[in-house]
Amino acid sequence: MTRDISDVTRAKNGRPVHHWRRDLVELAALFTAVAVADGVANLVGHGPDGPALLAVSAVLLGATAGFHTWWARRHGHAPPTGDTDARPPSEESQAGPSELPPGTDEDSALWRMRTTVKDAPGSLAALCGALAAHRVDILSLQTHPLGEDTVDEFLLRAPGSLAAAGISRAVSLAGGVGTWIERADAHDLVDAPTRVLGLATRTALDAAELPLTLRQLLGRCTIRSLPAASGARGRGQEGVPVEGVLEDTVMRLRAPEGGVITVERPHLPFTPTEFARARALVELDARLGPRIPRGQDALTLPEGGDITVRRADTGDLEAAKAMHERCSARTLGMRYNGPVGDVDRYLNHLLSPRFGRTLAVQTPSGRIVGLGHLLWDGDETEVALLVEDRWQRRGVGTELLGRLVAMAAEAKCESVYAVTQASNTGMVAAMRGLGLPLDYQIEEGTLVVTARLETAGARPASVRHDERAARD
- Give me the CATH number covering residue 155: 3.30.70.260
Helical H segments across 249-342, by residue range: 272-288, 317-326, 329-336
50 in a domain, yes or no?
Answer: no
**Does residue 311 share a domain with residue 282?**
no
**Structure confidence by residue, pLDDT tens digits, 81-115:** 443 343 333 333 333 333 434 433 458 899 999 99
- The pLDDT value given to residue 413: 85
pLDDT digits (tens, 9 = 90+) for 283-340: 998 888 878 777 788 888 877 778 999 999 888 999 999 999 999 988 988 888 776 7
Does residue 201 register a pLDDT over 80?
A: yes
- Sign of torsion over alpha carbons 101, 103, 108, 111: negative
Predicted confidence at residue 355, as pLDDT, reads: 83
| 388: Cβ contacts below 8 Å, ≥ 6 apart | 323, 326, 327, 331, 369, 370
User: What does the chain come to in residues?
Assistant: 472
- The last residue of one of the domains, among 255, 288, 321, is 288
Whether 213 and 275 share a structural domain: yes
Question: Which of the two residues, 105 and 20, has the higher pLDDT score?
Answer: 20
Residue with more model confidence, 451 or 445: 451
Quick one: CA dihedral 192, 196, 199, 201, positive or negative? negative
Whether the per-residue pLDDT at 73 is higher than 50: the answer is yes
Mean pLDDT lowest among 26-30, 109-113, 147-151, 314-318: 26-30
Domain that holds residue 171: 108-184
| Same-domain check for residues 222 and 330 | no
- Note whether 455 and 364 are same-domain residues: yes
**228 secondary structure, DSSP code:** T
> Where is average pLDDT lowest: 19-28, 318-327, 455-464?
455-464
Q: Which residues contact 442 (CB under 8 A, 6 or more apart)?
A: 422, 448
Share of the chain above pLDDT 90, in %: 29
Residue at which a domain ends, from 129, 158, 184: 184
- Asked if 258 and 349 sit in the same domain, the reply is no
User: Residue 298 phi/psi, 5° resolution?
Assistant: -95, 125
* In-domain check, residue 39: no
Do 279 and 303 fall into the same domain? no
Residue 69 has pLDDT above 70, yes or no: no
Residue 30: predicted pLDDT: 62
CATH of the domain at 400: 3.40.630.30
Q: In Å, how far are 10, 41, 346, 390 from 95, measured between CA atoms?
A: 43, 63, 66, 75
- Please indicate, yes or no, whether residues 155 and 275 belong to a single structural domain of this protein: no
Over residues 384-395, the mean pLDDT reads 91
